[in-house]
Amino acid sequence: MQPFIPYQLGKFSITRPWVMGILNVTPDSFWDGSRCDTPQAIERAVRQMLNNGADVIDIGAYSTRPGADDVSPHEEMRRLEGAMRVVRNVAPGMVTSVDTFRADVASYAVECLGFDIVNDVSGGTLDGEMFGTVARLQVPYILMHMRGTPATMQQLTDYDNVVVDVMEHLRTRLDALRALGVRDVVVDPGFGFSKTLEQNYELMAHLGEFNRLGVPWLVGVSRKSMIYKVLGCTPGEALNGTTVLNTLALMAGAHILRVHDVKAAFEARALVEKTRQSQSNNCKL
């Protein structure tokens, strides 16, 4: 088991792995159980995440699954505003991240709605203004690996070595961010985005390598096809498989788990932390 490396991320201290709850304020996210497109559904989801121990809530208003409807920036902002109003009413001190690849939406979310973190599935590749915007906003930024667009990404899975290539891409993007003065960055290998099923598991098997990038890293595998295709089930039946992979990620040193099911991830973290503590106490054996 890899040691857990603590980091300071802006004003936040990551002294133990964070559980990031997913709040999709969309009508078309890939798993219908995660869709919250009414104020009542949003409130139920936020209360449940709060009660189950979420450290941060990641709010997305634009589905990035292949074939999803396009959403205008105005509509994306409108959905985010409604969701944030509920979150601040139910959980006023909750850390929030905005899941968007648009620089203008990120700017609005941080400056007008009070979001704390920008989570960009494209790693700045879909909006050339994103890096400059994050540098101006001076908020933590989650840099995910993806090729192409959500519509084309699964045609762009040719790698010499998926682990090496993803790490090199992220390292290059980190350098570009640092050149602009952005210091608080989390990297995400982008499970399911421009990777085949086999490549996803190759990344999973070598997750500990991401500690070498010298920044916190996030794993988002919750109920994805890399789980339900192997198990021959549906996304709705993929919680157990999600927990298994989240446990492997925690053992490799993951700093953030992005999940639909906060309680299961919270419990996995508790058990991995207990095991890591026992390993440390008996390291001289």
Q: Which domains does the chain have, with CATH numbers?
A: 7-281 (3.20.20.20)
| 47 carries an active-site annotation | no
pTM for the model stands at 0.94
Question: pLDDT by residue (tens digit) across 198-215?
Answer: 999 999 999 999 999 999
Quickly state the pLDDT bin for 32 (edges 50, 70, 90). Answer: low
Q: Is the pLDDT of residue 35 over 80?
A: no
DSSP 8-state secondary structure symbol assigned to residue 257:
E
Q: Which of 78, 258, 269, 284 is catalytic?
A: 258
Mean pLDDT lowest for which of 30-44, 143-157, 177-191?
A: 30-44
Question: pLDDT by residue (tens digit) across 119-137?
Answer: 999 999 999 999 999 999 9
% pLDDT > 90, the chain:
84
Q: Which of 147, 173, 224, 269 is catalytic?
A: 224
Q: What is the DSSP string of 224-242?
A: -HHHHHHHT--GGG-HHHH
Cβ pair 25, 263 in contact under 8 A: no
Torsion of the alpha carbons at 98, 58, 203 and 244, rounded to the nearest 10 = 180
| 258 carries an active-site annotation | yes
